[in-house]
Structure 1
Amino acid sequence: MGELFNTILVNPITNILLFFNYIFETIRLPGAFGFSIIALTAFIRLLFHPFYKKQIDMTTKMAELKPEMDRLSKKYKNDKQRLQQEQLKLYQQKGINPAAGCLTALLQIPIFLALYQVLQKFLQNNLQTIMNQVNLSAYVDFIRVKVIDTNFFIYDLRIAPSHFKENGYHYLIIPIITAFLQYYQTKLQTPAAAPKKDVQKDNKDGKKGSEDMQQIMSGQMKVMFPLMIGYFSYILPVGLALYWNIFSLFSIVQIKLPLWRKKRALKN
């Protein structure tokens, strides 16, 4: 199973990264390997653009439906079965399939795992080991690496920010940026919670309904998930954080772009 995973995903992604590195090394671009990670991230993002777009469109539609969903929750708060029927009816009217977004997210998991394995292979401390392992995966001779420069501006992509004492406090900026970008992305992808005054009005008996619990959990996830990603970027090599941050920026732009266009159209 592991060999099949390597053949289908890990090795092709490794070769794409080697190809970008070859191009940037050929034109003598400083920080070639760092730019190769950025180019690889952009390539993967564009390749799977239809899937990401579908997921983001679904998220946007769900956010637009939030007021109507809240209205249904209030109207049928004592009849859970009727509430589910009305919610399903609303989804069908708007052409929304909530399960489709989950399926798209599941399809992305193997890609993330493969990218992680590829970057881990490149970001080991022993450069000779890197070249030996990576070159074995190369499909053609000319993209094989003879030397690899992991320096990218003021960072060494192999170093984890957790080793900031030996390498400099500027490494601590990386997990902060990573956590912030992930927080902003999560905020954009999560519908706004209902106002607190409405929640209090619906729960005079002091008990929290399932809808309120969902809002609480959603609010916690907005904070906990970015903190978790920030922690990972603290203990893992900077190169992995670079990939994650570029990916987050693509997601943010992809979410914001339709909103900017919509605002511009309304102004005109």
Structure 2
Amino acid sequence: MNPTWFDFLAIPLGRLLKLIYDFLHTAHIPGSYGIAIILLTLIVRGLLLPLYIKQIQSTSKMAEVAPRIQEIQQKYKGDQRKMQEEMLKLYQETGYNPAGGCWPFLVQIPILFALYYVFQNPLVYVLGKSHQYVRDLIQGKAGYAITQTIIDEAQKLGLDMHFFGINLAQKELVVLPILSAATMFLSIWFASNSQKRFNPQYSQSQSNAMAESINRTMMIFSPLMSYFIALQVPAGLVVYWTVTNLFSILQQFVANEVVYKKLKHKKEEEEKKKQLEKQIKREQEKENLNNGKEENQDGEGSGEDLEKKEQEEREKEEQMRKKELEKLKQQMTSSQGGGKKKKK
């Protein structure tokens, strides 16, 4: 067998598996190879945990940003360039990365390929033999005889690959493929239901409705794919994938109880704060409106007082003119009376 593109991952993973196996085997723990695979799976998933946390944050952001994305799509549906510009502004403003939730899945792909070679060729990747050693060993053999020869040689060198009666270097056609498919289904179903539960806006937008349709499709086809692939690969890889699915369910449960509930509480607090701010704003508007009415009333009252004063002044002037006219009339009457007396 020849070196592969995934040797940079397969070699350290195989060495780590051997280290765990040696510790367990020395302690005379039954099924050491299978338990070592389970522990290796947990270590790998633990190393990927930061990416999973980012995936949770990305999923939460998606639910918040989805309504605004829909608004932009409707507003600029006739202008793709403007739509993309507004989308980019929105992503920069909110810090949302559409590809953020894909990293855990993408990173697992090369790990799966690397582990395939580890379990298929334990002589090289677990026991540290050279590729030339394996080529010399399987010379003249073909097909399944190659795999059986490698397994037999590994067992001669002290590597017991049995786990509850299953040789994890060979294919297992009943129990493990069914477990792989069942855990895959549960993982997708649990993640989908968690999304609906902790993101109420999830089904209220076109993009999230599309995501929900994709989840339903994955819930059917992913377990089937997992089952048929499990029939074709070494049982050790199926153990890894099954434990990975179980670990994903556990991660989702922890996220629901800790992260998502905290995010949900934070959203509720933000909504309460927004409602309170709106209520305060409405009260201020009412107060300003009432103050404006009072000022208008005061203004109208002061106008009436001014008119009253002007009316009083006009009446006073009219009275003064009347008094002056009376005086003039009296003077004229008295002067006419004195002239008549002189004529007599």
Fold match by TM threshold 0.5: yes
C-alpha distance in 1 between matches for 2:41 and 2:239:
9
- Provide the TM-score with structure 2 as the length reference: 0.55
| Structure 1 pair 222–183 and aligned structure 2 pair: CA distance change class (3 A) | same
What is the aligned partner in structure 2 of residue 178 from structure 1? 180
What is the aligned partner in structure 2 of residue 16 from structure 1? 16
Query: How far off its partner does 1:40 sit?
Result: 1.3
C-alpha distance in 1 between matches for 2:72 and 2:98:
22
What is the aligned partner in structure 2 of residue 50 from structure 1? 50
Q: Secondary structure at the match of 1:29?
A: coil
* 1:69 matched to 2:66: yes
Task: Note if contact 1:161-1:237 (Cα within 8 Å) is conserved in structure 2.
Answer: yes
Task: Note if contact 2:17-2:40 (Cα within 8 Å) is conserved in structure 1.
Answer: yes
* 1:148 matched to 2:166: no
| Structure 1 pair 76–238 and aligned structure 2 pair: CA distance change class (3 A) | same
1:1-268 map, 5 Å: 3=3, 5=5, 7-62=7-62, 64-65=63-64, 69-70=66-67, 72-73=69-70, 76-77=73-74, 79-80=76-77, 81=80, 84=84, 87-103=87-103, 105-122=105-122, 129-130=150-151, 146-162=157-173, 171=174, 173-189=175-191, 215-262=212-259
Query: How far off its partner does 1:85 sit?
Result: 5.0
Larger displacement relative to structure 2 (183-192 or 227-236): 183-192
Aligned Cα RMSD in Å?
A: 3.7
Larger displacement relative to structure 2 (109-118 or 45-54): 45-54
C-alpha distance in 2 between matches for 1:101 and 1:212:
17
What is the aligned partner in structure 2 of residue 204 from structure 1? none
C-alpha distance in 2 between matches for 1:236 and 1:12:
20
C-alpha distance in 1 between matches for 2:4 and 2:234:
27
Query: How far off its partner does 1:91 sit?
Result: 3.4
Task: Note if contact 1:131-1:147 (Cα within 8 Å) is conserved in structure 2.
Answer: no
Structure number with higher relative contact order (C-alpha < 8 Å, ≥ 6 residues apart) = 1
Q: Secondary structure at the match of 1:235?
A: coil
Task: Note if contact 1:18-1:145 (Cα within 8 Å) is conserved in structure 2.
Answer: no
Query: How far off its partner does 1:115 sit?
Result: 1.5
Counterpart code for 1:29 = I
Task: Note if contact 1:182-1:226 (Cα within 8 Å) is conserved in structure 2.
Answer: yes
Task: Note if contact 2:55-2:104 (Cα within 8 Å) is conserved in structure 1.
Answer: yes
Larger displacement relative to structure 2 (6-15 or 211-220): 211-220
Query: How far off its partner does 1:26 sit?
Result: 0.2
State the Cα deviation string for residues 175-222 of structure 1 (Å, max 9, x = none).
232112212323455555976xx89xxxxxxxxx88866654443123
C-alpha distance in 2 between matches for 1:52 and 1:262:
12
| Structure 2 residues not aligned, in runs of 5+ | 124-143, 266-344
Among the aligned pairs, what percent are the same residue? 31
Task: Note if contact 1:73-1:83 (Cα within 8 Å) is conserved in structure 2.
Answer: no
C-alpha distance in 1 between matches for 2:57 and 2:223:
22
Task: Note if contact 1:56-1:255 (Cα within 8 Å) is conserved in structure 2.
Answer: no
Bigger CA radius of gyration: 2
C-alpha distance in 1 between matches for 2:36 and 2:17:
6
Counterpart code for 1:116 = Y
C-alpha distance in 2 between matches for 1:145 and 1:44:
29
Larger displacement relative to structure 2 (121-130 or 104-113): 121-130
State the Cα deviation string for residues 39-85 of structure 1 (Å, max 9, x = none).
111222223332333234323433x33xx525753774474346555
State the Cα deviation string for residues 92-120 of structure 1 (Å, max 9, x = none).
34322123444554344322211221122
Q: Secondary structure at the match of 2:99?
A: helix
C-alpha distance in 1 between matches for 2:70 and 2:261:
33
